[in-house]
Amino acid sequence: MERELRLMKGNEAVAEAAIRAGVDGYFGYPITPQSEILEYLMEANPYERTGMVVLQAESEVAAINMVYGGAGCGKKVMTSSSSPGISLKQEGISYIAGAELPCLIVNVARGGPGLGTIQPAQADYFQSVKGGGHGDYHLIVLAPASVQEMADFVELGFELAFKYRNPALILSDGAIGQMMEKVYLNPQKPRSSESPDWATTGKGSREDRNIITSLDLDPDGQEQFNHKLIEKYAEIEKNEVRYEEFHCDDAEYLLVAYGTSARVCQKSVQIAREHGIKLGLLRPVTLFPFPKKRIAEISSRVKGILSVEMSSGQMVEDVQLAVNGRVPVMHFGRMGGIVTTPDEVVEQVKILFLGGK
Amino acid sequence: MKEATGIKEIIKPENLAYARTEVMLNNTLSYCPGCGHGTTHRILAELIDELGLQSKTIGVSPVGCSVLMYHYLDVDIQQAAHGRAPAVATAIKRLLPDRFVFTYQGDGDLAAIGTSETIHACNRGENILIVFINNGIYGMTGGQMAPTTIPGMKSSTSPQGRDVHSMGNPLKMTDIVATLAGTYYVTRQSVHTPANVRKTKKALRKAIEYQKLNKGTCFVEIVSNCPSGWKMTPVDSNKWMEENMFPYYPLGDLKTPSEQAEK
Amino acid sequence: MAKIKGSIVVDVEKCKGCEVCMVSCPTGTIAMAKEVNGKGYFNAYPANPDLCIGCASCAIVCPDGVITVYKTKI
């Protein structure tokens, strides 16, 4: 069947893609800049189309716990929010990871900390990739850089979440959430009628009851479980790294950027090359697992690396770890919701690596 | 199994008058001697058995003493974050509407951290059963004050007794949810005497059967004891409960379907 | 008129000696053992088995469900 071409906002694309992907339930709460996801779903009323449950919860905390309940039943369930709301969800996310449940969380990030601003930012990298919630776990983190990827990553996120029984996060930002671009939408998939064998659906004809829990008061048991999680994340790191390269083959200087910053940096690469600077861009598509191997490879043949993020410098630390001191790694980024411009980035490359020329 | 038995001649299968239901697993309960949790678990298990619901039940256990409920009831169970069981149950019931879904929560879970989830699930009229074990104290964490602790009652965080001026009055969640249009059947019971156990079983049976009607939330509070937290023997704690807790939390129905039919 | 006689079986090692069954028994059948069980509790037992009428009050109020009840008409 053909994909349908539409002109949509990033937020709307997530919502429509969710319906078409056969998602069973969406539980959300209004917060700028992502309320359109909930509004679109309420307007579209997919309960009539596919039986998909859409519920405005009383808080982000309630919403993530609804996701836990639905995920425990083996259903494809998701929630979305923006930075402060994602902070509220952290305990629930840790529980979901600890109970090894699949689900999708969408963060349309805004400036912080605290109530911050409603403009876009990329200051939730640490929160998304380094934990966020308590305990040893990781989220599978996908970073879209277009409305198309906002739509595509819904299915991809669920595919990875169910493959590894782990929560997945789409880390977007206010610019991508609000911008309109053309997007190709997949045809409607039916909601699944099967349940994984570990799900709580009522004992049915099963011999044993299923229990969804993240509690183990026996320290040996809990340590074993943590080892199991570590092995799972090692598998994910082995199999699921995704990134995109732009003019990296002959690059002398490398930009590393994701999401909106990557779009800006693509232009920066063009501008730089017009001025004779051999600049390249590596755009991580998965932030966990991070493309550390590829960055390490490239670092052996460039003279300097600039991590461009709308933050005070978070992903730059992972770049530094991957580069391991081979070449200088610096950071540049505007904050407060201000989006970097392509010229600014080229200026920074000149100042930091080329003596200001 | 080491047994203490009565007259041996009477002990024959055909004379069986009461035995543990198989829905209650044969594991030793981790609850303190005399605690109402065990009794309530058993009543629920018997009803699930008698009503033929074992294959269709999904329970949600809280954080608190009864976090380990899934070791004792032979049904599918999800363990929820502290206070969040009504949200978890909301999703389960909406996604699997033909299952019997219940939450089982203590007073810290339901009336402190979970106040919002409790009220909003009831306000939306989620078709679930909420079982609320109210013993006026935080048992699992060592006997701290709860929102339902009664004035003057000593606890580890109200060592001079609950002072309503700085700590507020006991929060009567059951009364609050009874005022919400989304609740269908709201009642308060206890399990400390055989007569009350029978009444509680009747009330829970009604609540479970009402779920099929999809008319709203059924909310059953069980005023219970906490011998360890109250620092009393089980028998004394039941007497203390009758004399001191029941005046604040009187037993009986707060909202019944027949009332609503008349409206 | 037929008389009902009962007989209870107490799972000694699971009993926690809470005594709630003892105070619930209408006939005075139950008492607490003079020696502790393996867990250190003075478990309940039918001290006066002839008084038991099989009403199951003890069993239904027992928090740990350790009592099984039999009864018959004599």
The pLDDT value given to residue A253: 98
Touch between chain C and chain B: 3 or more Cβ pairs under 8 Å: yes
- Residue B94, chain A, CB below 8 Å: the answer is yes
- Chunked in runs of 10, what are the mean pLDDT values of chain B (263 residues)? 93 96 96 97 98 98 96 98 98 98 97 97 98 96 95 94 95 98 98 98 98 97 97 97 98 87 53
Establish if B17 belongs to a structural domain. no
Please report the ipTM that was assigned to this predicted complex: 0.95
User: Is A66 part of the contact surface with chain B (CB cutoff 8 Å)?
Assistant: yes
The confidence score (pLDDT) of residue A357 equals: 60
Domain ranges of chain A: 4-197+226-239, 244-353
| Whether the Cβ atoms of residue A123 and residue A109 lie closer than 8 Å to each other | yes
B38 within domain boundaries: yes
Q: What's the one-letter identity of residue A321?
A: L
A91 contacts in chain B (CB < 8 Å): 81
pLDDT tens digits along A126-147? 999 998 999 999 999 999 999 9
Average pLDDT value for chain A:
97
The domain that holds B252 is classified in CATH as 3.40.50.970
Range of the domain at B147: 30-257
Partner-chain residue, chosen from A62, A75, A91, that has the shortest CB–CB distance to B116: A62
| A221: pLDDT strictly greater than 70 | yes
Domain formed by A244-353, architecture: 3-Layer(aba) Sandwich (3.40)
- pTM above the 0.90 mark? yes
pLDDT at C24: 98
A65/B87 Cβ within 8 A: yes
- If residue B231 lies in a helix (H) or strand (E), which one and from where to where? none
Q: Tell me, yes or no, whether B69 lies in a domain.
A: yes
Residues in chain B closer than 8 A to C12 (CB atoms)? 1-4
B6 domain-assigned? no
Provide, as residue numbers in chain C, all residues whose Cβ is less than 8 Å from the Cβ of B33. 16-18, 41, 63
Do the Cβ atoms of A314 and A256 come closer than 8 Å? Answer: no
Residue B3 covered by a domain? no
Task: Tell me, yes or no, whether B223 lies in a domain.
Answer: yes
Nearest residue to B249 via CA among B161, B149, B127, B164: B149
Instruction: Report the residue count for chain A.
Output: 357
The whole-number pLDDT of residue B223 equals 98
> Parallel, antiparallel, or unpaired: how do β-strands B217-223 and B183-190 relate?
parallel
Q: Could you tell me if residue B184 is inside a domain?
A: yes
pLDDT reported for residue B261: 59
pLDDT score for B259: 63
Is residue B177 a part of any domain in this protein? Answer: yes
Ordered by where they begin, the domains of chain C are: 4-73 (3.30.70.20)
Q: What HEC string does B73-108 produce?
A: ECCEEEECCCCCHHHHHHHHHHHCCCCEEEEEEEHH
CB-CB neighbors (< 8 A) of A202 in chain B: 55-58, 75-76, 96, 99-100
CATH topology of domain A4-197+226-239: Rossmann fold (3.40.50)
pLDDT tens-digit profile of A78-108?
Answer: 999 999 999 999 999 999 999 999 999 999 9
